[in-house]
Amino acid sequence: MKKKICIITGASGAIGSHLVSFFKKKKWKVILMSSKKNKNSFYFNLSKVNISDESRLYNADLLIHCAYDFKKVDWNDIYKTNIVGTKKIFKLCKINKIKKIINISSVSAFKDATSNYGMAKFKIEKIAEKFDVINLKCGLIVSKKAKLYSKIYFFSKKLRLFPLIEKGDQKLHLLYLSDLANFIYKITPIRKKIKNKTFYVCNPNYIYFKDLIMKIDNKKIFINIPKFFIKNSLKLFSLLNIKLGFDYDNYLGLINYNKKINIKNHPFKFSFK
């Protein structure tokens, strides 16, 4: 029996590497595409998507687009690399008749998002819809390999006195990688036309930022800091090129919550942790 083929961009990232392992265990042939040069993967760069990538994409059963270049911080660079590059990969997918295309997005992506990351992901979602791509709006990935969670985890463990943005009541929807992988695996065989091409994939019950810190380490003394102080401090650190592990764009993504989240629009019942 011929193996099914799954192509994963951003295969060396937290989400991508987990999906690679997952689909290999399911006996799929997995083609890895990564910006990190590795003998087990094809070199893939969102800023250099070209026609030479076609041979790797031909007639695959599934492509999961996880790639995103976080090193680009200026909006023009983000647009040219992540948005334009993603549009090119979607075009190549259609040319090469890939049966199903899934775009990994974020709950941070919505019309009124203020973070560059949220705005970029929202624009990518709109492009994806034109190419019949399924968007998965993922919650905060609970993994030490995931960029944002690893920062939260590191500071939670390191700091006895933990600074909170005001009351620390920012809402977060968590997602475990195992749940994401299972969701993708269940949605992949569905051949009938899915009316809604965008799905929220995360725990429907939010957790406050402060409570997440307490789950990681409950021996904390919290310091409530006004928004304006954190905002201006992060801007200053950015100008001085001081790396804290949590930047102004992370701050905007944390405080700017999408009030229209609808997690109950999945095409089948599924229970998240």
Q: Is 49 left (phi over 0), alpha (psi -120 to 50) or beta?
A: beta
Along the 273 residues of the chain, how does pLDDT read in single tens digits?
678 999 999 999 999 999 999 999 999 999 999 888 777 778 888 988 875 555 666 778 999 999 999 999 999 999 999 999 999 999 999 888 899 999 999 999 999 999 999 999 999 999 999 999 999 999 999 999 998 899 899 989 998 899 999 999 999 999 999 999 999 998 887 655 666 688 999 988 899 999 999 999 988 899 999 999 988 988 888 887 777 778 889 989 988 888 888 776 665 555 555
For the chain, how many helices (H) and strands (E)? 10, 13
Collapsing DSSP states into helix, strand and coil, what is residue 185?
helix
pLDDT attached to residue 135 = 95
pLDDT attached to residue 126 = 96
- Cβ contacts of residue 21 below 8 Å, gap of 6+? none
Name the one residue in this structure whose structure tokens are 């989240």.
261
pLDDT attached to residue 113 = 94
pLDDT attached to residue 192 = 57
pTM: 0.91
- Cβ contacts of residue 268 below 8 Å, gap of 6+? 186, 187
> What structural domains and CATH numbers belong to the chain?
5-255 (3.40.50.720)
